[in-house]
Amino acid sequence: MRLVRERAVLYSRQAVAITRNLDPEFATTDDIMAAAGIARRTVQVWVEIGLLPPPLKVSLGMPGGVFNRFPVAAVERARFIAAKRAGGYTNEEVQAMLDKMDAEEARKAKAAASPPAPAPATRRPSARAKAARGGARRR
């Protein structure tokens, strides 16, 4: 599934539609703004104070311009932040909640990535052990 964005750009006195083929693993500032119901400046402030991850700046050249690419998880993170801020929490309290969530996610990822403990090896009894039990069988 590919996200396609169209934007009309005034170029040579006529509108030209620019189609952006974006990777579904990333979200733009507009995606975050729409999902969380916040302004562009709010997204910038949240990035500056560390509530949202810093975006990767991408240029499509002239006339496409430069835009930000956030990890797709930033959309849900922005929704969470907006809900908590609307609930009356301060930025510091929200940051503490996000740190706790990130630590829990890292713990789960580490547990899922670690290999399972090896099963105990089953060994065949040695000739000495067989002799101690009553003699080894002869063929």
Q: Where are the domains of the chain?
A: 25-104
Cβ neighbours for 58, distance < 8 A, ≥ 6 positions apart: 66, 67, 68, 69
Burial (CB count within 10 angstroms: exposed 0-12, middle 13-18, buried 19+), residue 35? middle
**For 83-92, 97-106, 127-136, which range has the lowest pLDDT when averaged over its residues?**
127-136
| pLDDT for position 10 | 45
Mean pLDDT value of segment 101-125:
80
| Rounded mean pLDDT, 95-111 | 93
Q: Is the pLDDT of residue 54 over 50?
A: yes
What are the backbone dihedrals phi and psi of residue 110, each rounded to the nearest 5 degrees, phi first?
-65, -40
Q: Answer for the pair 57, 68: CB distance below 8 angstroms, yes or no.
A: yes
Angle, helix 40-49 to helix 29-36, in steps of 10 degrees: 100
**What does the alpha-carbon distance between residue 16 and residue 18 come to, in Å, rounded to a whole number?**
6
pLDDT category at 42 given cuts 50, 70, 90 is very high
Confidence of residue 60 (pLDDT cuts 50, 70, 90): confident
Higher pLDDT, 92 or 131: 92
CA dist., res. 31 & res. 87, Å (int):
22
Q: For residue 2, name the pLDDT band (cuts at 50, 70, 90).
A: very low
> How many percent of the chain have pLDDT more than 90?
47
Beta strands at 26-27 and 66-71: parallel, antiparallel or unpaired:
antiparallel
CATH code: domain 25-104 is 1.10.1660.10
If one counts every other C-beta atom within 10 angstroms of the C-beta of residue 77, the result is: 21
Q: pLDDT category, 3, cuts 50, 70, 90? A: very low
Number of helical H runs and strand E runs in the chain: 5, 5
Greatest mean pLDDT among 53-57, 66-70, 81-85: 81-85
